[in-house]
Amino acid sequence: MANVKVNVHHLTRVEGHGNIVVDVVNGELKQCDLQIVETPRFFEAMLRGKPYQNASHITSRICGICAVGHATASLRASEMALGVELSEQTKLLRRLNFLGELLDSHVLHAYMLIAPDFLGVPSVIPLANTAPDVVLRALRLKKLAGDLCQAIAGRHTHPIAMVVGGFSHFPTANQLYELRARFEAARADVVATADLFQTLKLPQFERETEYIALRRDDGVYGFIDGDIVSTDNGRWPISAYQSVTNEYLVPHSSAKHAQNQRESYMVGALARFNVNHDLLHPVAKEVAAGLGLKPKATNPYLITVAQGVEIAHCVEEAIQLIDALLAREIAWEDPALPTRESGEGVGACEVPRGTLFHHYVIEDGQIVGSNCIIPTGQNLANIELDMKALVPTMLDRTQQQITHALEMLVRAYDPCISCSTHLLDVKFE
Amino acid sequence: MSGTVNELPRVAFFDFTSCEGCQLTVLDALQTHPELLKVVNIVEFREASSARSEDYQIAFIEGSCTRPGDEARLRKIRETAVYVIALGACAHLGGINAIRNRQPLPDVRQYVYGDKAEWYDTYPARAISQVIEVDAVIPGCPIDRDEFVRIVSVLLQGRQPKLPDYPMCIECKLHENICVFERGQVCLGPITRAGCNAICPAYGYGCEGCRGLVSAPNMESFQEVLAQHGLNQAEIDEKLSLFLTNQTLLEKELVHG
């Protein structure tokens, strides 16, 4: 086929509004855009003049799926700015809460947004009749993740008890025992999830790129804090994030694009696997081996498989963290206090879709400058380059097949478009 | 009540400027109340399904209207649907999107998008009811899952849903929470519509008013209470700005204008 026109208006089963536009004339690729048509959100402007204590509650509203992630990055930015030292209990609870959200989001993506493509249905809803065990398993895992976040912070979307310096509410030991039992039972669901992933026939498409993720040097799989690490070599402190993200505006997207050492880079579960695979829990390593996932993996459709590996990791690490919390007994401690009322700080964490940065300047307790850099924004340039490499390999297929392959590619990145369209220029006054 | 899929009420979900967290809460509600799927036919739900339809009776709308171009899409939904429901604080009140309505718009655009501001269309954030007529509201940021299920059940019985019209404080007392004011913080519970089971005070945080004002709130008296707890006028305005910008700006116009 010499001429191809793909125009997917408001791609479905993704978070937020995006269009895929491809135009091939006489075998030549004229246009290949992932248009981000989400309305601008203006969060940085909304934070201006707000007390720093409000920032995590405002920015968790950037995204319903990664609300805990935004709250975590926001709290870390304020804490870095104001010299807040966290207690061991706070670190454990933050991480446990974070794993809950990661599990929830990965299960949502793998089972409800991706699986319908492979099973030939428009959504997960018809599967309730045809494959009830699959749907019930997804619901069970999601409910477990949601109940974990609820026990710690009141709810997953949008967390209440997460505050600068710690928490305003704590789970009881009984809640933790009950959750632990359910996480143990979830090990069977992890095995079944890996088995399901075995059956997915992912498109063969390799395109190596730069993979970037946070990495910690204490042997813990990097989700919160650490350094920014690239598979193209390079390690930067979180405070130097702007020399990695190098954002720029393009007219067809209300979300900024990013590039580091190549034309584009990838963040997210597959990038984390490529950077941090040695730090995965042994059970997660087994799952990866069973699914044939090896570093450095360069097929973007494998992002979903890497999420499956992280589902296994989350379940195992959640059990470890609950044990650590039960062994020390939960104390109703007051949040750690700031040591100053003015300062500048960057917080970073690995939300489900990749590295998230919040950067605040605080003066006398008020936010005077802010910048948020979102994973999907960092991935956009990489997705477009994947599309540009993929389309010429498919010109002999039907328009419908090409469209479906492109939709699946974009969905594999699990784009969170609401998140990505509020970012942009840092301006510190 | 159930029947063949074709006889069931056709329901569609639409999203405008929002975090889509209320639709996620709907997905959670469908998980815990799968019986809902037996009594409605969901014909459009972009976040969860690639099925699409322009034939529906009940439309749920999440998000605020923040650009002129969205008004036509909203009017189309209004023309098609028999019943339009604003889902969550962004649709109900303008939500946190309206925080920026207190700042001059050119300034806000320039701050975020710099000299490229003209590329991105926008105007002050509006509640859906400021653009089209809305038949019912499910308030909250995010919506409360149980309230969503209750309101859908009421609608399917052909009745008009009613929201509690008393302040959140009543639910907080029933929960035996220690009053947030007693803990040295401030709380918008006295002026905010109940229905959330006082979830924020229960988890140690003061109410931010995400469900909107109770009808006829005593704003003057409440502002005195905030002043007694050490807030100056700028801090009071700030406190009312998170979810109540549009409502309190209107209130000010009504009182002083």
Distance from CA of B21 to the nearest CA of A (A): 4
- Whether residue B39 lies within 8 A of chain A, CB to CB, comes out as no
What does the alpha-carbon distance between residue A185 and residue A140 come to, in Å, rounded to a whole number? 10
Place of tokens 């950067």: A359
- Assess A132–B contact: CB distance below 8 Å, yes or no: no
Q: State the smallest CA–CA distance between residue B101 and chain A in angstroms.
A: 9
What is the band of A424 on the pLDDT scale with cuts at 50, 70, 90?
very low
The pair phi, psi for residue A34, each rounded to 5°, is -105, 100
Residue B19 is nearest to which of A51, A160, A418, comparing CB atoms? Answer: A418
CA distances from A418 to A3, A67, B220 (A): 33, 12, 37
Residues A25, A6: Cα–Cα separation, whole Å = 12
* ipTM confidence: 0.90
Nearest to B203 among A62, A113, A169 (CB): A169
Is the CB of A161 less than 8 angstroms away from the CB of B205? yes
Domain locations in chain B as residue ranges? 5-156, 168-256
The residue type of A190 is V
Residues of chain A in contact with residue B17, where contact means CB-CB under 8 angstroms, are 38-39, 41
Count of CB pairs separated by less than 8 Å, A with B? 166
Residue A372 forms contact with B (CB below 8 Å): no
Nearest CA in chain B to A404: B50
Q: Count CA within 13 A, CB hemisphere, residue A189.
A: 26
In a 10 Å sphere around its CB, with 0-12 CB exposed, 13-18 middle and 19+ buried, how is residue B165 labelled?
exposed
In CATH, the architecture of A43-420 is Orthogonal Bundle (1.10)
On chain B, the residues whose CB falls within 8 A of the CB of A427 are: 111, 114
A16 contacts B49? CB cut-off 8 A: no
Question: Is the peptide bond prior to A57 cis by the omega test (within 30 degrees of 0)?
Answer: no
Taking only residues 249 to 308 of chain A, the set having a beta carbon closer than 8 angstroms to any beta carbon of chain B reads 249, 251, 254
State whether residue A176 sits within 8 Å of chain B by CB: no
Which tens digits make up the pLDDT trace of A234-245?
A: 999 999 999 998
CB of A136 within 8 Å of any CB in chain B? no
Q: What is the pLDDT of residues A205-263, one digit of tens each?
A: 999 999 999 999 999 998 999 999 999 999 999 999 999 988 877 777 767 788 888 88
Nearest to A125 among B37, B47, B242 (CB): B37
Query: Three-state secondary structure along chain A?
Result: CCCEEEEECCCCCCECCEEEEEEEECCEEEEEEEEECCCCCCHHHHHCCCEHHHHHHHHHHHCCCCHHHHHHHHHHHHHHHHCCCCCHHHHHHHHHHHHHHHHHHHHHHHHHHHHHHHHCCCECCCHHHHCHHHHHHHHHHHHHHHHHHHHHHCCCCCCCCEECCEECCCCCHHHHHHHHHHHHHHHHHHHHHHHHHHHCCCCCCCCCCEEEEEECCCCCCCCECCEEEECCCCEEEHHHCHHHHCCECCCCECCCECCCCCCCEECCHHHHHHHHHHHCCHHHHHHHHHCCCCCCCCCHHHHHHHHHHHHHHHHHHHHHHHHHHHHHCCCCCCCCCCCCCCEEEEEEEEECCEEEEEEEEEECCEEEEEEEECHHHHHHHHHHHHHHHHHHHHCCCCHHHHHHHHHHHHHHCCCEHHHHCCCCCCCCC
Please report the pLDDT score of residue B48 as a whole number: 63
| pLDDT band at residue A38 using 50, 70 and 90 as cut-offs | low
Tokens at A157, concatenated:
């979307």
User: pLDDT tens for residues A158-182?
Assistant: 999 999 999 999 999 999 999 999 9
- A191 CB contacts (<8 Å, ≥6 apart)? none
Tens digit of pLDDT per residue, chain B (257 long)?
445 666 889 999 998 989 889 998 998 888 788 888 888 888 877 666 666 677 899 999 999 999 888 999 999 999 999 999 999 999 999 999 998 887 777 777 777 667 666 666 678 899 999 999 999 999 999 999 999 999 999 999 989 999 999 999 999 999 999 999 998 899 999 999 999 999 999 999 999 999 999 999 999 999 999 999 999 998 898 889 899 988 887 555 444 43
Its pTM stands at 0.92
- % of chain A with per-residue pLDDT over 90: 62
Asked if A153 is an interface residue toward chain B (Cβ–Cβ < 8 A), one would say yes
Cβ contact A39–B19 (<8 Å): no
> How far, in Å, CA of B44 to CA of B61, rounded?
12
Summary mean pLDDT of chain A: 89
- Across the interface, do A40 and B120 touch by the CB < 8 Å criterion? yes
Residue A45 clears pLDDT 70, i.e. is over it: yes
In order of A88, A103, A238, A263, A339, the CA distances from A342 in angstroms are: 25, 36, 19, 37, 9
CB A376 within 8 A of CB A426: no
What confidence tier does A13 reach under pLDDT thresholds 50, 70, 90? low
With CA atoms as reference, the chain B residue closest to A110 would be B48
Q: Collect all residues of chain A within an 8 Å Cβ-Cβ radius of residue B37.
A: 125, 128
Range(s) for CATH 1.10.645.10 in chain A?
Answer: 43-420
Lookup: tokens for A199: 């059956």
The HSE-up count of residue B55 (CA atoms within 13 Å, CB side) is 3
Top CATH class of B5-156 equals alpha beta
Q: How many CA atoms lie within 13 A of A392 on its CB side?
A: 9
Calculate how close chain A gets to B10, using CA atoms only, in Å: 15
Q: Cα distance from B49 to chain A (closest Cα, Å)?
A: 4
Q: How far is B205 from chain A (nearest CA, A)?
A: 7
Locate tokens 């400021």: which residue? B130
Instruction: Give the closest of A13, A39, A46 to B49, CB-based.
Output: A13
Residue A91 corresponds to which tokens in the numbers above?
A: 């670190």
Please report the residues numbered 42 through 71 in chain A whose beta carbons come closer than 8 angstroms to any beta carbon of chain B. 42, 44-46, 48-51, 54, 57-58, 61-65, 67
Q: How far apart are CA A99 and CA A156, in angstroms?
A: 11
b/e for A359-368, b at 16 or more Cβ within 10 A? bbbbeeebbb
Q: Which of B2, B20, B101, B172 has the highest number of chain A CBs within 10 A, making it the mutation to test binding with A?
A: B20
Taking CB atoms and an 8 Å cutoff, what residues of chain B touch A51? 238
How many Å lie between the alpha carbon of B162 and the closest alpha carbon of chain A? Answer: 24
Distance from the Cα of B217 to chain A's closest Cα (Å) equals 24
Residue of B nearest to A334 (CA): B204
Please tell me the distance in Å from B158's CA to the nearest CA on chain A: 25
Taking alpha carbons only, the member of A296, A248, A238 closest to residue A272 is A296
A104 at B interface, C-beta within 8 A: no
Helix (H) or strand (E) holding B152: helix B145-156
Question: Chain A residues with CB inside 8 Å of B96's CB?
Answer: 46, 58, 61
The residues in B 172-231 lying below 8 A from A, measured between CB atoms, are 199-200, 202-205, 208
Backbone φ/ψ region at A120: left (φ over 0), alpha (ψ -120 to 50), beta: left
Selecting from A63, A128, A425 the residue whose C-beta is nearest the C-beta of B113 gives: A425
Interface of B with A in 130-159 (CB under 8 A): 141-142
Strand pairing category for B41-45 and B10-15: parallel
Question: Cβ contacts (< 8 Å) between A122 and chain B: which residues?
Answer: 49-51
